[in-house]
Amino acid sequence: MISARAAALSICLAVALSGQAAAETAAPAVPPSMPMTWDRAANIKESAERIGLIQRTRGAEAAIKHIDACYRTHGLASAYSAAFEGCIAQDYLQTKLLTRIYGRLKPEELRRIGAPTADQMAQAMGRRVVAAFSQYKVSAAEADAFKSEVDKVGLPVFLKTVFPNSAAEIDALGDKSGEPGTSKEKN
């Protein structure tokens, strides 16, 4: 069940981005008027640590509010920026965590607490991310490359920040750190 939820999150993002690809096949990875002047990996790690710390110390609601404020603030810029890209990374990481958690709950329990299903969360995140990339005409290929880098460098940092007592297990997972069912959280 959790595997299906995680797969749905990745598929939702990929499908949304592939629909965008048809309209942007000739678009450059980052438009020439908006050159990337930052270290993407470092920016992803910093963003992952920031949202992980909020999640661990103040909870999911505070993390979601932070992400919303991030999009609202940095989405006003006329150019694609490291800060805005950080918002996207944080949204993706936080949603990935919450879909794994909510995917374990029964639908009745989710209704009782007034929470969305994991699929609803993944779909909403997919719409936000596609809108964010589309706003600055970032191609689907560049968005896919970004998602891969967030999974590779951001997810381990995020998980170790949220679950500090599981850092050794997370390190041992290597490339599998984002795979459902591969970790037994101790926190």
Give residue 151's pLDDT band: very low, low, confident or very high (50, 70, 90): very high
pLDDT of residue 187 exceeding 50: no
Spatial CA neighbour of 157 closest among 52, 43, 39: 52
pLDDT of residue 176 exceeding 60: no
Spatial CA neighbour of 96 closest among 129, 117, 121: 121
Judge contact between 85 and 30, C-beta under 8 A.
no
pLDDT of residue 1 exceeding 80: no
d(CA 84, CA 75): 6
Measured on CA atoms in the order 88, 173, 98, 69, is the torsion positive or negative? negative
Query: What is the average pLDDT value for the chain, to the nearest integer?
Result: 82
d(CA 37, CA 102): 37
pLDDT of residue 159 exceeding 90: yes
DSSP string, 20-44: HHHH-TT--SS-TTS---S-HHHHH
Cα torsion 121, 124, 130, 136 to 10°: value is -110
d(CA 144, CA 36): 16
* Domain locations in the chain as residue ranges: 2-25+39-176
pLDDT of residue 24 exceeding 60: no
Angle at which helices 118-135 and 82-102 cross, to 10°: 170
